[in-house]
Amino acid sequence: MKKTIVIVVYKTILKDSSTFSSLVHILKKNPPALNDFSLIIYDNSPERQEIPIEYQNLNIIYKHDTRNIGIVTAYNFAFQVAKENGSDWLILLDHDTELTEDYFDQFRHLESFDSGVVAVVPKIYSENTMISPVFSNAFRPLKEKRPDVGVQNTPVMAINSGALIRISFLNEIGGFNRDFPLDFLDHWLFYEIYAKGYKVSVLNTSIEHELSVMDYSRVSVGRYHSILDSEMKFYKNYKKELLPAYRSQLIKRFFKQVLLVKNKKIAAYTLRRLVSM
C-alpha cells in the first residue's frame, strides 16, 4: 500500500528538522520500506537549500516556494503528486514532530480499515499533555476526556502533523480548502470527514510534537489577524453550533488582551472583529 509523505519546512535546515532526522533514521533501518513511500519536502523558506548527498537515495521531491503562503498550497501539491504516483494515503508532517518506529509499524494495520475510515491519526503529546486528537463537539476540548484508540464514532479533530489521509477522500472533497491557508485547516479537514459521513481512527501509538502556543509578546499583529480571521471563518461557516460559545470566549479574550497584552493593536483587532460578527 503506497504512501506519500509531505514535510513542510520554513526557515529550517533539513538536518535540524526533528521530523526529517527521525524519518531518515527509521527508513534507513528498514531499506525495503523505502519502496512504500514517496517523500516530498515543501520548503517555504526564503532561501533554497540543497538535499545532502547522503539523503539522495531517498528519492526526495524538493519543492521550493518563496511565497510562504501557508501549508494548504504544500498539501495540495503533495496531493497531486500522490495521485500521480498511485498512493493510497497522504501523510502530513510539520518539521518539528519526533517520529518513532512504532508510529510506522502501525501502518501495517491500514489495509484492515474499511473505506469508511478516511483518516488515521496517532496520539500527539506536548510536554506530557495529550493535545491531539480531541473531541470536536466541545469548545474547550483540552479540558475534556480524550478519545480512546480505535475508530471514532463521535466527531474528533486532530492536528495536521502525523495524520494519514485517504487519497480517495481528498479526491471526493477536491483537495484541501484554500480558504484556510494555514490556521484552522485541520479543524476544517476533520469537520469535513464527519460531515461527509466518514470516520477517523486513532492509532495505538504516541509521538511528541512542539505545540505552537500563541505568545502575544512574539506574535505580530499581522500574524494575529490571520489566526483570528481563520478562527472566525471556521465557527461562522462550519462549526456553527459552537458560535455562541465562541463569541463569549472572544469577549473574554478581548478583556484579557486589554489588561495583559502590551501591544494594544491586538486587542483593538479582536474588538473590531467582535463588532463585525
Place of cell 523505502: 34
The residues facing 166 across adjacent strands are 89
The pLDDT of residue 211 is: 66
In Å, what is the CA distance from 105 to each residue of 26, 30, 98?
Answer: 10, 11, 15
Measuring CA to CA, which residue among 40, 42, 41, 173 is closest to residue 119?
173
Is there a contact between 42 and 77 (Cβ–Cβ < 8 Å)? yes
CA end-to-end span of the chain = 46
pLDDT for residue 15:
87
Q: What is the pLDDT of residue 213?
A: 58
- Taking only the tens place, the pLDDT of each residue in 30-65 is 777 777 889 999 999 999 998 887 787 777 899 999
Bridging pattern class, strands 134-135 and 156-157: antiparallel
What sign does the CA torsion over 193, 130, 121, 226 have? positive
To the nearest whole percent, how much of the chain has pLDDT over 70? 97
User: Which pLDDT does position 10 carry in this prediction?
Assistant: 93
* pLDDT range class, residue 218, cuts 50, 70, 90: confident
Please report, for the chain, the start and end positions of each structural domain, with discontinuous segments joined by +. 3-209, 221-276
* Chain position carrying cell 511565497: 67
Residue 66, phi then psi, degrees to nearest 5: -75, -10
DSSP code, position 52: P
Average confidence (pLDDT) over 18-22: 92
pLDDT in tens, 131-165: 999 999 877 766 778 999 999 999 999 999 999 99
Residue 68 CA to residue 75 CA, distance in Å, equals 13
Decide which of 3.40.50.880, 3.90.550.60, 3.10.20.600, 3.10.450.40 is the CATH code for 3-209. 3.90.550.60
Confidence class for position 214, pLDDT limits 50, 70, 90: low
The answer to whether the CB of 133 falls within 8 A of the CB of 156 is yes
Q: What is residue 128's predicted lDDT score, i.e. its pLDDT?
A: 83
**Residue 152 burial class via C-beta count within 10 angstroms: exposed 0-12, middle 13-18, buried 19 and up:** buried
Grid coordinates representing 128 are 506530557
